[in-house]
Amino acid sequence: MSGNSTSAQKEFEEIRAEYTKLHGLYKKYFPKVDPKLVEEIISQTPSSAKSKGPLYALRVIATEGTNFDRVREYFIAKTGRVPTSYETEVHQVILVYPTRDMIKEIQGYEEVEHISGECTYVSYSVA
């Protein structure tokens, strides 16, 4: 039984090493984006811009002192959606069907400090 434990330990160490490399790539290419969101975007968004993936609530934290109107106009231009503002306009929430390019572009905006988000499942009931 100890042989299996050693084998399992080696397998987990191999996975851990690959996981560490993967998270290094996340930080390299998406330094402002939460790793969980990067994983979801990679696995759940379609490669074709013609088909929609799931709806996400993106939470974007802007740097302190950012001009809210400028950031708001930027998000409208990039996503086609109007963001909701929280915490003295530093915290923006945008409901979007994100694409990989959209996430990359938003994180490249100088006033963006951090992006996180989660899939939003909307259920409708028929009365």
Decide: 106 and 112 in contact? Cβ < 8 Å.
yes
Q: What is the pLDDT averaged over residues 42-64?
A: 79
The reply to whether 110 falls in a domain is: yes
In this predicted structure, the answer to whether residue 122 has a pLDDT above a threshold of 90 is no
Confidence at residue 16, expressed as pLDDT on a 0 to 100 scale:
95
Are residues 23 and 36 part of one domain? no
Looking at the structure of the chain, the number of domains it has is 2
Which residue has 């802007």 as its token pair? 62
Are residues 42 and 103 part of one domain? yes
Are residues 43 and 86 part of one domain? yes
Tokens of 126: 């028929």
pLDDT in tens, 59-116: 999 988 888 888 889 999 989 999 988 877 788 999 998 888 899 999 999 999 999 9
The reply to whether 127 falls in a domain is: no
Q: Which of 91, 29, 76 is nearest to 41 (CA)?
A: 29
In this predicted structure, the answer to whether residue 124 has a pLDDT above a threshold of 60 is no
The reply to whether 124 falls in a domain is: no
pLDDT in tens, 12-44: 999 999 999 999 999 999 999 999 999 988 887
Are residues 58 and 23 part of one domain? no
CATH of residue 45: 3.30.70
Confidence at residue 115, expressed as pLDDT on a 0 to 100 scale:
96
Q: Which domain holds residue 3?
A: 1-30
β-bridge partners, 95: 57
Are residues 36 and 14 part of one domain? no
Confidence at residue 23, expressed as pLDDT on a 0 to 100 scale:
93
Are residues 87 and 63 part of one domain? yes
Looking at the chain, how many residues does it have? 127
Confidence at residue 48, expressed as pLDDT on a 0 to 100 scale:
57
What is the pTM for the complete model shown?
A: 0.79
Instruction: Work out the end-to-end distance of the chain between its first and last CA atoms, rounded to an integer number of angstroms.
Output: 59
Are residues 113 and 54 part of one domain? yes
